[in-house]
């Protein structure tokens, strides 16, 4: 789930960058919509991971840990395994102000979804006047 959230964040960044560089008004709305779609998808995945962290299932299979992969495998095999993730989405490795990375990702994705909506609304109002 962490990897999927990273891909969603890359999608948000790319769509927002292309939308910011585009000139036609329709492109602003198209890429704004795509930015919101990527952000809402990321928020959904982060919310699901947060839920799994709060209510972990009783039976859960884990992959190898990061250090075990690095120490026991050659780099050409280790790197693809690292980017697949460990599969242990219930583990909380880090917290800040009581929230896990998944909790903070959810908040950030919601903000990243609201910003283009605000900008599109502001742009639509500016063209009407």
Residue 68 lies in a domain: no
Residue 124 lies in a domain: yes
CA–CA dist 25, 124 (Å, integer): 9
> Residue 105's domain spans which residues?
2-56+93-128
The total of structural domains in the chain comes to 1
Residue 30 lies in a domain: yes
Residue 70 lies in a domain: no
Q: What is the pLDDT of residues 19-29, one digit of tens each?
A: 888 878 787 88
Q: Do residues 53 and 100 make contact, with C-beta atoms less than 8 angstroms apart?
A: yes
What distance lies between CA 41 and its chain's CA centroid?
Answer: 8
Q: What is the pLDDT of residues 11-53, one digit of tens each?
A: 889 998 888 888 787 878 888 889 999 999 999 988 888 877 7
The predicted structure's pLDDT at residue 84: 63
Residue 107 lies in a domain: yes
The predicted structure's pLDDT at residue 40: 93
* pTM: predicted TM-score of the whole model, two decimal places: 0.67
Residue 120 lies in a domain: yes
Tell me the chain's radius of gyration from C-alpha atoms.
Answer: 19
Query: And the tokens for 42?
Result: 């990321």
The predicted structure's pLDDT at residue 20: 81
CA–CA dist 91, 70 (Å, integer): 19
Q: Do residues 108 and 47 make contact, with C-beta atoms less than 8 angstroms apart?
A: no
The predicted structure's pLDDT at residue 52: 79
Residue 61 lies in a domain: no
Mean pLDDT computed over every residue of the chain: 78
What three-state secondary structure class fits 115? Answer: helix
Residue 96, beta-bridge partner list: 99
- Residues 54-66 have a mean pLDDT of 62
The predicted structure's pLDDT at residue 19: 82
CA–CA dist 101, 9 (Å, integer): 14
Residue 95 has pLDDT above 60, yes or no: yes
Q: Do residues 15 and 112 make contact, with C-beta atoms less than 8 angstroms apart?
A: no
CB within 8 A of 41, min separation 6: which ones? 8, 11
Residue 29 lies in a domain: yes
CA–CA dist 19, 35 (Å, integer): 9
């Amino acid at each position: 789930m962490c990897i999927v959230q990273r891909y969603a964040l890359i999608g948000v960044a790319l769509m927002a960058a292309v939308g910011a560089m585009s000139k036609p008004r329709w492109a602003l709305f198209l890429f704004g919509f795509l930015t919101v779609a990527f952000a809402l998808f990321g928020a959904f995945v982060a919310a699901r991971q947060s839920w799994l962290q709060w209510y972990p299932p009783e039976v859960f299979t884990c992959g190898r840990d990061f250090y075990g992969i690095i120490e026991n495998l050659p780099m050409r095999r280790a790197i693809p395994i690292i980017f697949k993730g460990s599969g242990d989405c219930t583990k909380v490795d880090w917290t800040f102000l009581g929230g896990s990375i998944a909790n903070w990702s959810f908040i950030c994705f919601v903000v990243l979804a609201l910003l283009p909506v605000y900008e599109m609304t502001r742009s639509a109002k500016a063209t009407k006047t």
